[in-house]
Amino acid sequence: MQILDPIDPILAFHSEIQQIRRDIHAHPELCFEEHRTSDVVAGKLQEWGIPVIRGLGTTGVVGIIKHGSSSRAIGLRADIDALPMQEINNFAHTSKHEGKMHACGHDGHIAMLLGAAHYLSRHPVFDGTVYVIFQPAEEGGGGAKRMMDDGLFEQCPMDAVFGMHNWPGAAAGSFGVTAGPMMASSNEFEVIVKGKGAHAAQPHKGIDPIIVAIQIAQSWQTIISRNASPLESAVLSVTQIHSGSATNVIPDDATLIGTVRGFSTEMIDLIESRMQKIAEHTAAAFDAQVDFKFKRNYPPLINHARETAFATEVMRSVVGEAQVNDKVEPTMGAEDFAFMLQAKPGCYVFLGNGDGEHREMGHGLGPCNLHNPSYDFNDDLLPIGATYWVRLAEAYLKKTI
Ligand SMILES: [Zn+2]
Ligand SMILES: [Zn+2]
């Protein structure tokens, strides 16, 4: 792991940024409840003389670093929320909040962006405005959308927006990115099959919703294999089936719940319409009925070609060509930064977090994977991530004179 052209003040600031990262790790907060986190972020920015806007998306914070006279602007975004799960590490900075944990590394994302903000405010070699965006509620809350609904891009007009996520399993300090779809759209469904309850010994007097639900779940499995293009990827998983309360009762209804993922809105449209048709017609064939609910959560995350090429050059300049994979495999995970990329051009990248060798004594025995109770962000990445943000902003807002 190396930085080709390290920025001395960022290296000198490493221990302070690491301390902030660990403090935030020890005090995780969930979707839209990130009040302490928001106070820490806004407090640091203000302490460093950076004006802030607060309250976008409830607990969002935006720092404004302006220099020169250009109206051009770039947005750099970090997510700030934690997950509702119990940490099993017991090193010094382990979570002090029962049942809550920074298991996705958003504590590290905050720290890397704070490190960049600190440097950019003191050594501004650019012409324009850098907005550092600290966004709440990435983990299912759609905080990106909420910040936008509250006027993020109107109050902070910017030409492009960039995001970054640590990526366990990829070599520490390497970058992964790809133009086009990089993360999936995530959606959920809840389908209630309404039959007619009866004594289990008299099935002919009822309409068994369990049999109908099973038929529907089975038939849905033909959508990906028979209706979707074999050259495109998608997932339809039934993850819950609920029905019944006794061995001798045919219940009134049965519920199917699950998730649908894909890399284009057209694919999700296709899957939703086929699911509904199969559910309704299968139910009709058994004289049952369905209540079909399909909820769109996050759209697919689509990196813009021009900004991705631009960001990739910056990554190469920071860590060297060999450490940048510009055709990284997309993932079926989802990410609400996708909303921002629907509104503004930009690019989202993965920063390798390594395999967990960085973890200190006292870490849990599980793998250092995202959403694992043994996970911890790799502090060695702090200067690399901060340097990427700084070089990206400087290059994007290059003085033209
Ligand atoms: Zn996560
Ligand atoms: Zn995350």
Write out pLDDT tens, residues 269-310.
Answer: 999 999 999 999 999 999 999 999 999 999 999 999 999 999
Q: Which ligand is nearest to the CA of 79?
A: 2
CA of 203 to the centre of ligand 1 (A): 46
For the chain, the maximum distance between any two Cα atoms, rounded to a whole number of angstroms, is 87
CA of 139 to the centre of ligand 2 (A): 7
Q: What is the Cα–Cα distance from 317 to 292, expressed in whole angstroms?
A: 51
The list of the chain residues with pLDDT below 50 reads: none
Protein residues placing their CB within 5 Å of the ion ligand 2: 104
331: which residues sit within 8 A by CB, 6+ positions away? Answer: 182, 183, 184
What does the pLDDT read at residue 401? 52
| Lookup: tokens for 133 | 């965006």
CA of 106 to the centre of ligand 2 (A): 6
CA of 105 to the centre of ligand 2 (A): 6
Q: What is the Cα–Cα distance from 50 to 75, expressed in whole angstroms?
A: 15
With contact defined as beta carbons under 8 Å apart, do 161 and 392 qualify? no
What does the pLDDT read at residue 400? 64
Q: What is the Cα–Cα distance from 321 to 196, expressed in whole angstroms?
A: 64
What does the pLDDT read at residue 173? 97
Q: What is the Cα–Cα distance from 13 to 178, expressed in whole angstroms?
A: 31
CA of 240 to the centre of ligand 1 (A): 21
Predicted structure pTM score:
0.94
CA of 214 to the centre of ligand 1 (A): 31
Q: What is the Cα–Cα distance from 372 to 277, expressed in whole angstroms?
A: 38
With contact defined as beta carbons under 8 Å apart, do 28 and 101 qualify? yes
CA of 371 to the centre of ligand 1 (A): 6
Radius of gyration of the chain (CA): 24
134 secondary structure, DSSP code: E
CA of 227 to the centre of ligand 2 (A): 32
With contact defined as beta carbons under 8 Å apart, do 158 and 131 qualify? yes
Long-range contacts of 306-310, Cβ-Cβ distance < 8 Å, separation of 24 or more: 306/345, 307/160, 307/162, 307/345, 307/346, 307/347, 308/177, 308/178, 308/179, 308/347, 309/179, 310/347, 310/395, 310/396
What does the pLDDT read at residue 399? 74
125: which residues sit within 8 A by CB, 6+ positions away? Answer: 394, 399
CA of 306 to the centre of ligand 1 (A): 27
CA of 80 to the centre of ligand 2 (A): 9
CA of 104 to the centre of ligand 2 (A): 4
CA of 353 to the centre of ligand 2 (A): 13
What does the pLDDT read at residue 392? 98
CA of 232 to the centre of ligand 1 (A): 25
What does the pLDDT read at residue 2? 87
Q: Which ligand is nearest to the CA of 108?
A: 2
CA of 371 to the centre of ligand 2 (A): 8
Q: Which ligand is nearest to the CA of 371?
A: 1
Q: What is the pLDDT of residues 209-263, one digit of tens each?
A: 999 999 999 999 999 999 999 999 999 999 999 999 999 999 999 999 999 999 9
Q: Which ligand is nearest to the CA of 110?
A: 2
35: which residues sit within 8 A by CB, 6+ positions away? Answer: 29, 59
